[in-house]
Amino acid sequence: DVKVTQSSRYLVKRTGEKVFLECVQDMDHENMFWYRQDPGLGLRLIYFSYDVKMKEKGDIPEGYSVSREKKERFSLILESASTNQTSMYLCASSLASGTSRAYNEQFFGPGTRLTVL
């Protein structure tokens, strides 16, 4: 079974703090993704990575950065947290595109609910 774990289920930070959200997957997946999920807006892609040290912006990258130094770990960084970054953050992973697996779905972690005060 694929397992995607996130470092915290709940996190409370103050405005201006630097915040690290960690995600680890144990199935040797090439692709990893960070989303935020807000009521009425669904999941929106922040950043993704298709290989170690490779990253691409998603739809809402402003205010965020990422790091992927090892294949199994993908970190999301909020350089200076703001109240509008209060949200549920979900990490996901998948095999690379073009694999033999027909649907190649993304597997999600349990999420981190971040509150910025």
Instruction: Give the footprint of another protein on this chain (CB under 8 A).
Output: 4, 31, 33, 35, 40-45, 48, 50, 56, 58, 90, 94-97, 102-111
A 10 A CB-CB count for 107 gives 16
Shortest CB 8 distance to another protein, Å:
14
Q: Which is nearer to another protein, 90 or 116 (CB)?
A: 90
Phi then psi for residue 17, to 5 deg, are: -75, 155
Q: Which is nearer to another protein, 37 or 67 (CB)?
A: 37
Distance CA(53)–CA(17), nearest Å, equals 25
